[in-house]
Structure 1
Amino acid sequence: MEGTWIALVPFLVVIIIAMWTKQVFPGLILGLIIGAYIMKPTILGGMELSIQYIVDSLTDINNLKIIIFLYMFSGLVGIMKASGGIKGFVELTSEKVNSKKEAIILTWLSTLGTFSAPSFRIVTIAPIMKALLTKINMTRKELAFMIETSTQPVIVLIPIATASVGYMVSIIEMGIQNHGLNEDPYSIFIRSIPFNFFAITMIIVGTLFVFFRHNKADIHEDERDPDKITITKDDQSQELPANPWNLIIPVFLVISLTLFLTWFDGFRQGYSFPAAFIEADVLQAMVVALFITVLVSFLMQIIQRHSLKNMIHEFIEAGNNLMSVILLLAIVWALSSVTDQLGFSTFVTNNVDWIPHSLIPPVMFLIGAFVSYFIGSSWGTWGILMPLGFSLAQATDASLPLVIGAVFASGSFGSFASPLSDNTNTIANILGLDVITYAKYKLGPALIAVLISVILYGVMTLF
C-alpha cells in the first residue's frame, strides 16, 4: 500500500470537503479519520489511531513550544488592548490626519505597532481610521482595501514576532522531518520570504490602486459618515486609558529580545555572526522572549495600579481566542503523520517525472490560490499543500525555498481576496460593508497580483 495512489485519498478528501463546506476543519478531521482507517481498517482501529496521532502531535516538544507561543502572544495582545496601549498608540498617530495621502501614511505607520496578527491589526486600526472618513476623500471600501493591503501581505513577510511565524516554521519543519532533510526550518523560511511574490506584488499593486485611483463623482455622504458604520464590541473602548507605552514597550521588548536570544543561542554553540542566527534554536528564543515580555507587561500593569485580576482575565480570554487555531494545528500535524505513513512522499516522487521542473512553482501557486479562495484560510491552505510542495520539490529537484514561497503566497491570496476569509468578514463588519460586494471590489487588484506572481514564478525557474 505504501507509495500508491491510496496515499492521495486523505488530501483529496480534505480539499473536496473544505471547498464544499467552505471550512477547513471538517475536511481535515475527515481526511485524518479516513487516512487512519486505511492504516488500521477495523471498527475502532481508525478512531483509536486518529486519536493517537493527535496526541503524538500535541506531545512533540517543538509543537508544544509553538502552542505556548501562540497562546502567550494572543494573551499579550489582550493585555495591550485592556491597558489602553492600542488606544493610546492610535491616538498618538492620528491627530494630524486631514487628507487621503496622510491617511495612507498613517495606515502604513500603524503597522509598526500592530503587525503581530491580521485580526489584531484590523480590529485595532479599522475602528480608528473609520472615524477619520469625514476628513479624507475615501469611501469605506477604499479604506478597508487600504488597511487590508497593509495587513496580510505585510505580516506574512515579517520573520519575527508575529503569530504566523511559529506556524509557518512548524509546517516547514514538518516537511523536513517527513523527508529526512538536514535543514534548519527557520533558515528555509527566511530564504522563502523573497519568493512570496503575491504578498510583495499585492503591496505594490494595492498601494498604487489606493493612491492613484480617482473617483469619477463626488463620494456620497453615506460612504464617509462614521455614524453609518456598524459599531462592534471592539469599538467600545472609550473608558479605556490611553497609554501608548503599554503597546510600544512590549512590542519593542519582544522583538529585541527575540533577536538577542536568537543570536545568543547560536553564540553559545560556538558560532559567530551571522551564522549564530542560522544555527540557533529560533523557536526557543521566541518563546523565552515572549515569556519575559509577558512578565514585564504584568509588572507594568501593577506599577500603573491596574487591576491584576482583570489583566489576568484579559490574558486568558485573549489566549483562549486562539484555541481554534491550536486545534487546527493539532489536526494538521496529525494528518501529516498519517499521510507520511501511507507513503504520500514516495508516491509523489515516483509519479511527477512528466511535470516540467519549470512548472512546479507556478502550478503549486495556482493550485493553492484556487483552494485558498474557496476555503478562505491561509493557514489551512499552507497545512494542506505544504506536504505536496515538499514532495514535488524533492522529486523534481526544484528550489525548495521557491516552492515553499509559492505555497505561502497561494495561502496569502485566499486570506486577502476570499469572501470567506476571516479578515474580509471582520473588516467588512467593522466598516459596515456588504461582504460579497467588498470581496468583488478587491478581487480585481488581487487577480492582477496573481498574474504577475505566476509570471515571476515562471521566470525564476529559468535561473
Structure 2
Amino acid sequence: MDAGWMSIIPFLIVMPVAIYTKQVLPGLLLGLLVGSYIVSPSFVGGMQAMLAYVVQALIDENNIKIIVFLYAFSGLTGMIKFCGGIKGFVEAASEKITSKKEALFLTYISTIGTFSAPTFRFVTIAPIMKALLKKVKMSTKELGFVIETTSTPIIVLLPVATAFVGYMVSVVQISVQTKEGAGEPYDLFLQSIPFNFFAIVIILLGIYLSFFHHSRSNAPTQIEDGGEEDEEDWHNCHPAVSKELPTKPWNLVVPIALVISLTLFLTWWDGRGGGRSLTEAFIEADVMEAMVVALLITTLLSILFFLVQKFKLKDLISSFIVGGNELMSVVVLLSVVWGLSSVTEELGFSGFVTAHSGWIPELFITPLMFVFGAAVSYFIGSAWGTWGILMPLGVSLSAVADVSLPLIIGAVFASGSFGAFASPLSDDTNTIARILNLTVIDYAHYKLKPALLAAGISTVLYTAASFFF
C-alpha cells in the first residue's frame, strides 16, 4: 500500500487515548486494532490481521530472547526477595550507617549492586533511609528525590544486566528494521546513551542536592499518618523487607555478582573470534544473547545456592513464577508495540513522514522530539509506553532531516525518562511515595521544578547538539 495519510491514524488514536485513560495499553491496542482494519477492512479480516501482527512479533527470534530475558530477570528477583536477600542487605546496611554523609554515600555506591530495575533499587535503599531518617536529618521529599535520581536515570544509561536493556534495544530494533544501513539495534542503543541528556542532567542535580545543597528543613516532613514511627516500621513499607522473611544479604549479593560477571564474560566470549581486541569483541558480540544466557546460568546456580541453604525447591519455583508474572503486563505491552510498528510500516508510515516533514528546520527536530515526548510521557506516566509510541516517529524524522540517528534515539529515551521521573502517574513516583509514606501529588509537585529545570537544560543541549551531529 502506498504511503498516505491513513498511516498516521493509529498514532493519532494511541496518544490521546493513552493520555485520557492515563494508561498506555488501551491506546496501543486501539491503535493496533484500527490499523489492522485499515489494512484488512472486513469484520473478520481486521481481527485476523491484528492477530497475525502480534503472532508474527512473538515468534521472532530476537523478540523471544527479550521476553525470556524479562521474565527470567523478574523471576530471579522474586527468588532473591523470597530468600531474604533484599531484607538482609537492608538490615546489614542500616546497622552500620550513622550519619547523613554515610547514608548518601551508601545510596550512590549501592547502585553497583542494585541497578537492575527501579523497584529493585527502591526496596533496597528506601527502607534503609527511612529507618535512618531522623539520623540523616533530611526532609522526606528530599530523600525521595535523591533516591530517585539514583534509580531510573542511572538505569537507562547502563548497557548490560538491567530490566530496561532488552526493551530499549527492542524498540530501536522495531523502528530501524526497515531502514537500510541504519546499523545494529544494540550498537545504536550504545551510541545513544551519551545523548540521553535528561538522565545525565538530573543525576548531576541529584548529586548537587545530596552533597552541596543544604535543606531548609532539619527534620522529616510530615508523613501521611502524622504519627511517630518506631524504628522497625520500615519492615512494613514493602513485602520484600517483611519481618517474616529470613535475613540473608548474600542471597542478594551472590546472584547480582554472578549475572554481572557472566554477562561481561559471555559478551567477550561471543565476540572474541578473529583475533579481536577486548573492545572489538564487545562491539561484535551478540549482547542480547549473552545477557539471556548469563541470566539463565545465574538462575540455575542461584537455585542451587538457595537449595544448599535448605530452601524448598517448590517454594523457589513458586517465587520465580510469581516474580516472572509481575512482568507479564510488560510482555503484553511489548507484543502490542511490535504489532503496532508492523501495521504502521505496512501502511507506509515512514514514507508519509518522509514526504510531509521536510518543512521542519533540521535544527529543531531533535529538541522538538524531546519536548513532545516529555509532555506525552508526563501525561501517561510511562517511559516504556512513550518509547514504544514515539521511537518509530523519531527514527523516521531522523531519516527525513538527515539528523544523527543516535542523537534522536537518545532524545526519545530522554523524553520517556522525564515522565518516569516527574509524572505523578509513574510507577517510580507511586512506589517511592508509598514506601516513604508521602502523598503522591505533593511529592510529584516537589520534584517537578528540578525535573523541569533538567528538561530545559536538556532542550538547550539538544539544540546545540543538532549543530554538530
Q: TM-score range by the shorter chain?
A: over 0.9
Aligned to 1:424: 429
State the 1:222 CA deviation. 4.5
State the 1:244 CA deviation. 2.0
Aligned to 1:155: 155
Change (3 A) 1:281 1:193: same
SS in 2 for 1:178: coil
User: Quick one: which amino acid aligns to residue 160 of structure 1?
Assistant: V
- State yes or no: 1:320 paired with 2:356: no
SS in 1 for 2:167: helix
8 Å CA contact 1:130–1:226 kept in 2: the answer is no
Aligned to 2:405: 400
Aligned to 1:368: 373
What does 1:245-256 correspond to in 2, within 5 Å?
A: 245-256=250-261
SS in 2 for 1:274: helix
Taking the aligned partners of 2:81 and 2:234, their CA distance within structure 1 comes to 22
Change (3 A) 1:182 1:356: closer
Q: Does 195-204 or 249-258 show the bigger shift?
A: 249-258
Identity %: 58
Taking the aligned partners of 1:217 and 1:161, their CA distance within structure 2 comes to 38
Aligned to 1:74: 74
Taking the aligned partners of 1:218 and 1:150, their CA distance within structure 2 comes to 22
Aligned to 1:44: 44
8 Å CA contact 2:84–2:246 kept in 1: the answer is yes
Cα deviation code 1:337-392 (max 9, x no counterpart): 00000100011111121111111111110010000000000000000000011101
State the 1:181 CA deviation. 3.2
What does 1:22-101 correspond to in 2, within 5 Å?
A: 22-101=22-101
SS in 2 for 1:74: helix
What does 1:193-208 correspond to in 2, within 5 Å?
A: 193-208=193-208
Taking the aligned partners of 2:221 and 2:461, their CA distance within structure 1 comes to 42
User: Quick one: which amino acid aligns to residue 134 of structure 1?
Assistant: K
8 Å CA contact 1:194–1:405 kept in 2: the answer is yes
8 Å CA contact 2:138–2:220 kept in 1: the answer is no
Which structure 2 segments of 5+ residues have no match?
none
User: Quick one: which amino acid aligns to residue 226 of structure 1?
Assistant: E
Cα deviation code 1:408-447 (max 9, x no counterpart): 0000000000000011111111111111110000000001
Q: Does 153-162 or 114-123 show the bigger shift?
A: 114-123
From 430, 440, 448, give the equivalent of 1:443.
448
State the 1:124 CA deviation. 2.5
User: Quick one: which amino acid aligns to residue 106 of structure 1?
Assistant: L
Taking the aligned partners of 1:217 and 1:255, their CA distance within structure 2 comes to 39
Q: How many residues align?
A: 463
TM (norm. structure 2) is 0.95
What does 1:252-263 correspond to in 2, within 5 Å?
A: 252-263=257-268
Taking the aligned partners of 1:77 and 1:140, their CA distance within structure 2 comes to 27
Aligned to 2:123: 123
User: Quick one: which amino acid aligns to residue 73 of structure 1?
Assistant: F
- State yes or no: 1:460 paired with 2:465: yes
Change (3 A) 1:246 1:230: closer
User: Quick one: which amino acid aligns to residue 312 of structure 1?
Assistant: I
Aligned to 1:2: 2
- State yes or no: 1:191 paired with 2:191: yes
State the 1:91 CA deviation. 2.8
Taking the aligned partners of 1:115 and 1:234, their CA distance within structure 2 comes to 19
8 Å CA contact 2:81–2:240 kept in 1: the answer is no
Aligned to 1:111: 111
Taking the aligned partners of 2:462 and 2:138, their CA distance within structure 1 comes to 34
TM (norm. structure 1) is 0.96
State the 1:253 CA deviation. 1.3
8 Å CA contact 2:195–2:406 kept in 1: the answer is yes
Taking the aligned partners of 1:231 and 1:94, their CA distance within structure 2 comes to 15
Change (3 A) 1:268 1:6: same
Aligned to 1:412: 417
User: Quick one: which amino acid aligns to residue 37 of structure 1?
Assistant: Y
User: Quick one: which amino acid aligns to residue 365 of structure 2?
Assistant: I
